[in-house]
Amino acid sequence: MTPDQLDPTDPAGAIAAAAKRVSNWGRWGDDDVRGTMNFLSQEKRRSAAALVVTGRSFSLSQSFDMDGPQKGWRRRTNPIHVMLDTGSDAVAGVQGFPHGLGGADDVVTMPLQCSTQWDGLGHIFDHGKAWNGRPADQVVTSLGDGVTGIETVADVVAGRGVLLDVARQFGTDGELPDGFAITEQHLEATIAAQGPSSAVGRGDIVLVRTGRLARARREGWRDYAGGDSPGLSFTTVDWLHRCEIAAIATDTWGLEVRPNEFDEAFQPLHQVAIPHIGLFLGEMWDLEALSEDCLADGVYEFWLTAAPIPFTGAVGAPVNPVAVK
């Protein structure tokens, strides 16, 4: 699909047609729980390890603290960090340890998708169907995701990462404006401009920089979490399927462009990408330092490890992705 073929008045038709075109249901068997992570094979991972040359490393995670971007939409809050034991307790001698031993301990309460995170395959459904055509109520219940819980990919999310700095190519001062829909043409033009190291193929983890996080840090969070934003166009769905990537992540709250491109639609790209393609989506990644390094040396590929915290049955999870060049 190209942008001029998109009818903003017919989201239902476009979603249904796209789902039929790009469905991976049954591709890896009826029992599959890993979707596009199947593309990230042992061979792909081994070859990606050779990308480490200088040893420079970059955390791609935002902070997990009470000053984060969340505003309470659908009960999503920022992390609440509370100390259970402190240095004051140790000095006061109230901890009960022998021979002068003291310590500190703490606890964090938070939604699993409040900061840098992966969307798991149980996060989004289409007309009551989850990944691989399973009835959603047989996948995720009050006990969690008993089929495609995020723990099912805890050992595989490591391989070749590729940064597509679309904001550097098409933005102003390295930032795209809200409502900018990144199309396949923008992605391919960015790849061409950046050179061979940014070619995208099977098993890659693709990172798309929009500059939205940089703006939020300069101006304040405002509507970063849920408001207008640059992001992927719905029309990239065929590109995402055709490239056979393992996952894709952006520096935005919702990955796709907001406002969404259809009338009365909400996150339509999610509705196809997760339950039909089986694609893992990452959101709120910090790509700023990495983008500067890639610009400086002209190398846009790297070893990337981005394993989710394996909360059993979770439909998404926090992650501290680390890129190594």
190-234 pLDDT, tens digit each: 999 999 999 999 999 999 999 999 999 999 999 999 999 999 999
Domain count, the chain: 2
DSSP lists the bridge partners of residue 118 as: 282, 317
Question: What are the φ and ψ backbone dihedral angles of 317, each rounded to 5 degrees?
Answer: -160, 150
What band does 3 get if pLDDT is binned at 50, 70 and 90? confident
By the 8 A CB rule, do 82 and 26 touch? no
Is 87 found in the same domain as 65? no
CA of 300: how far to CAs of 61, 199, 257, 297, in Å?
18, 9, 23, 9
Is residue 275 reached through a cis peptide bond, with omega within 30 degrees of 0 on the bond before it?
no
Task: Report how far apart the first and last C-alpha atoms of the chain are (Å, whole number).
Answer: 35
Is 116 found in the same domain as 103? no
Residue 145 reports pLDDT greater than 90: yes
Locate 46 and state its tokens: 């081994």
Is 294 found in the same domain as 235? yes
pLDDT of residue 117: 98
How many Cα atoms occupy the beta-carbon half-sphere of 137 within 13 Å? 2
CATH number, residue 247: 3.50.30.50
Is 118 found in the same domain as 104? no
Is 15 found in the same domain as 101? no
Question: What are the φ and ψ backbone dihedral angles of 103, each rounded to 5 degrees?
Answer: -165, 175
Is 38 found in the same domain as 180? yes
260-286 pLDDT, tens digit each: 999 989 999 999 999 999 999 999 999
Is 86 found in the same domain as 62? no
Name the nearest CA neighbour of 260 among 252, 95, 131: 252
**Domain containing 90: what range?**
80-109
How many Cα atoms occupy the beta-carbon half-sphere of 33 within 13 Å? 16
Is 218 found in the same domain as 127? yes
Locate 97 and state its tokens: 């340890």
Locate 72 and state its tokens: 């309470």
In sign, the C-alpha dihedral spanning 298, 36, 277, 117 is: negative
Is 142 found in the same domain as 220? yes
29-52 pLDDT, tens digit each: 999 999 999 999 999 999 999 999
By the 8 A CB rule, do 285 and 251 touch? yes
Specify burial of residue 269 (Cβ count, 10 A radius: 0-12, 13-18, 19+): buried
